[in-house]
Amino acid sequence: MEKETVEKVHCLIVGSGPAGYTAAIYAARANMKPVLYQGIQPGGQLTITTEVENYPGYPEGVQGPEMMVNFEKQAVRMGADIRYGLATKVDFSGPVHKVWIDDEKLIEADAVIIATGASAKWLGLESEQRLNGYGVSACAVCDGFFFRGKEVAIVGAGDTACEEAIYLSKLASNVHMIVRKGEDGMKASKVMQDRVKATPNIKVYWNSETVEVTGGAKVEGVTIKNNVSGEQQTVPVSAFFVAIGHQPNSGIFKGWLDMDEADYLITTPGTSKTKVEGVFAAGDVQDKIYRQAVTAAGSGCMAALDAERYLSEKGLV
C-alpha cells in the first residue's frame, strides 16, 4: 500500500448511530480528536424509523432521521471529524490498530470504537419495504405504542417474537402471530410459548407464512397462507411487525474479536472492552438484548470513557 493512503489517528470510531455519535461527542470533549466513519447507513437504523417517542428529552417526540442529524451536529460542534466511508477490513494484530476504509484508505489508530450496529432481518417482500415506517416495523417496543387499541400482526417464532407479541398484546386490541412451522417446530422456549398461548388476545397462525402486506399509503392488512392446506386469507391490521431476528454488522471483525453464536461482539461485562487491548465495542453490534437508542447512546459514552482511560494510561493523550 502506498504511503500517502495511510493516516494516523488517536481515536477511530466506526459507525454512526446513537452509539457512534455519542462516543464521538465524549471523545471530542476529551481532546481525543476522534475520526468517525459513518458506514453504509449514516445515522444507523434510526434513519428508517419515523417517530421516536421514547428517547428522553424530546417531550413531543422526534423523527428518527432528524434526531440523528442532531446527534451528528453535536459531535461536529465538539470537534469530531465526521466522514463518509465504510470500514471494509481490519488488522488488530499489533499495538497500532489498522482499519481499511472503502478498500483503499488505511487508518492506523491508537484506539478503535466499533459502533457498526445490527441490521434487522426482513422477509424480503416488496410491500414490506415499501410500507416500512408506515405500519411495518422491526421493533415492537419502539413502535407498538402508535397502534394502541388496533389490530396488529407479528411474524416470528423465537423468544424475541414471543416477547414482542406479549408486549403488543398489552397495547393492541388483537395480535395476529404468524409462525412458519407447527407448534413442535417453534424456536421459542417452552415458557415463552406457554405465555403466548395463555394470552387471550394473541391468535397464532401455525404452519403459516406472510404472502403480502397490503395497503397503499399505510398498512391495512396482511395476507397469510397456510402451508398445509394452501388456503390464503387477508386479515385487516394497522401494523405489521417483523421479529425474525437481527444480524450484527460484525463480519469484518471475524477472526480478530470474540463473538457469540449469533456473531454479536463479546465485551467484558460492565465495560466496552473487547479481547483486543485498545478496541472497544458499543451499541447494537454487542447488544442483542435491549437494542434501544438510549442504551446504544449509553454504551457509546462508556466506550469513549474506556478509550480515554486506555489512551491516557498509554500516554497517548
Distance CA 96, CA 136 (A): 43
Same domain, 283 and 225: no
Shared-domain flag, residues 23 and 114: yes
Distance CA 89, CA 7 (A): 15
Supply the pLDDT for residue 115: 98
* Shared-domain flag, residues 137 and 273: no
Among 242, 259, 291, residue at a domain's last position: 242
Whether residues 128 and 231 share a domain: the answer is: yes
Judgement on whether residues 211 and 154 belong to the same structural domain of the protein:
yes
pLDDT at 298: 98
Name the band, by pLDDT with cuts 50, 70 and 90, for residue 291. confident
**Which of 43, 95, 99, 89 is closest to 66 using CA atoms?**
43
Q: Is residue 7 located within the same domain as residue 105?
A: yes
Say whether both 113 and 156 belong to one domain: no
What does pTM read for this prediction?
A: 0.83
How far is it, in rounded angstroms, from Cα 176 to Cα 224?
A: 10
Q: Supply the mean pLDDT for the chain.
A: 94
**Active-site residue (options: 11, 142, 162, 301):** 142
Phi first, then psi: what are they for 309, rounded to 5°? -65, -40
Domain that holds residue 292: 3-119+246-313
- Check 11, 110, 143, 284 and give the catalytic one: 143
- Within this chain, do residues 179 and 230 fall inside the same structural domain, yes or no? yes
Check pLDDT > 60 for residue 3: no
SS3 content of the chain, % helix, strand, coil (to 5): 30, 30, 40
The residues facing 204 across adjacent strands are 177
Spatial CB neighbours of 93, under 8 Å, sequence gap ≥ 6: none
Question: pLDDT tens for residues 54-88?
Answer: 899 999 999 888 999 999 999 999 999 999 999 99
Least confident of 44-53, 125-134, 231-240: 44-53
Domain C-terminal end among 242, 257, 279: 242
Pick the closest to residue 111 from 294, 276, 297 (CA basis): 276
Q: Is 301 a catalytic residue?
A: no
Selecting among 11, 81, 102, 139, the annotated active-site residue is: 139
Number of domains in the chain: 2
| Element (DSSP H or E) covering residue 78 | helix 64-78
Region 233-255 average pLDDT:
96
Residue 220: its pLDDT value, please? 97
Share of the chain above pLDDT 90, in %: 84
What's the confidence (pLDDT) of residue 110? Answer: 97
The residue out of 242, 266, 292 marking a domain boundary is 242
Do 217 and 257 sit in the same domain of this protein?
no
Say if residue 108's pLDDT is above 50.
yes
CATH of the domain at 295: 3.50.50.60
Are the CB atoms for 17 and 283 separated by under 8 Å? yes
State the pLDDT at residue 53.
86
Mean pLDDT of 194-222: 96
Whether 137 and 92 map to the same domain: the answer is no
**150 and 192 share a domain?**
yes
pLDDT band at 175 (very low <50, low <70, confident <90, very high): very high
Per-residue pLDDT at 2 exceeds 60: no
> Of 18, 74, 62, 79, which Cα lies nearest the Cα of 298?
18
Both 196 and 111 in a single domain?
Answer: no
Active-site residue flag, 11: no
| pLDDT range class, residue 1, cuts 50, 70, 90 | very low
Is residue 139 among the annotated active site residues? Answer: yes
